[in-house]
């Protein structure tokens, strides 16, 4: 069973003007570290990008992943229109085709898209956790409540898991 890292909505349109205010840089460090660990072990990294409300006059660069997040050419990209990245996308099939059974969810916005995508993973039979220190929110108390109420994994635990993969 493979591990999949789902990096949700880490896009210019949402974060470009809030990098310092939301401490996005710290979350990016954790996300990049974990994605590197997983790539080195042949695991799956997926960048999920929101296109909800897009129109022809939307600057295409605004939808891009922020430059602070490392994107490897082998990473998978999924676009979504709803908060749950599994809803009306091919994410479930892509993960199943890759042999993923355990997903780690990271990104923005902790209390919406990250949580709803985690719920969507569980509803579809995946084991799912949220990356500790790898989530961003505009609401200061949202992250703490997620850490309190949800299954969370640290990068140290992920290091341990990836070492077991060989």
pLDDT value of position 56: 53
Mean pLDDT on 40-60: 82
Mean pLDDT on 141-158: 96
Residue 123: both structure tokens together? 């509803």
pLDDT value of position 113: 97
pLDDT value of position 116: 98
Q: Locate the domains of the chain by residue range.
A: 2-52+62-164
Mean pLDDT on 134-157: 95
51-107 per-position pLDDT tens digit: 876 555 567 788 899 999 999 999 999 999 999 999 999 999 999 999 999 999 999
150-164 per-position pLDDT tens digit: 999 999 999 999 998
Mean pLDDT on 127-146: 95
Provide the percentage of residues in the chain whose pLDDT is more than 70.
Answer: 96
Residue 27: both structure tokens together? 């979350």
- The CA-based angle 116-81-97, given to 5 degrees, is 75
Q: In the structure, what pLDDT confidence band is assigned to residue 21 with cuts at 50, 70 and 90? A: confident
Mean pLDDT on 106-128: 98
Mean pLDDT on 138-142: 90
| Bigger pLDDT: 23 vs 98 | 98
For domain 2-52+62-164, the question of CATH label 3.40.50.850 is answered with: yes
Rounded CA separation 39/76 (Å): 12
- Asked if 12 and 133 touch (Cβ cutoff 8 Å), the reply is no
- Asked if 143 and 115 touch (Cβ cutoff 8 Å), the reply is no
């Amino acid at each position: 069973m493979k591990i999949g890292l789902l990096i949700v909505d880490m896009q210019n349109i949402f974060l470009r003007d809030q990098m310092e205010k939301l401490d996005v840089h710290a979350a990016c460090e954790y996300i990049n570290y974990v994605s590197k660990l997983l790539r080195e072990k042949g695991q799956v990294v997926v960048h999920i990008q929101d296109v909800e409300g897009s129109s022809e006059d939307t600057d295409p660069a605004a939808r891009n992943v922020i430059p602070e997040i490392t994107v490897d050419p082998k990473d998978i990209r999924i676009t979504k229109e709803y908060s749950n990245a599994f809803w009306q996308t091919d994410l479930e099939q892509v993960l199943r085709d890759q042999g993923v059974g355990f997903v780690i969810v990271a990104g923005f916005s902790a209390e919406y898209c990250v949580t709803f995508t985690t719920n969507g993973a569980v509803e579809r039979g995946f084991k799912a956790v949220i990356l500790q220190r790898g989530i961003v929110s505009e609401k200061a108390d949202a992250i703490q409540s997620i850490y309190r109420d949800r299954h969370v994994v640290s990068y140290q635990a992920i290091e341990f898991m990836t070492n077991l993969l060989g």
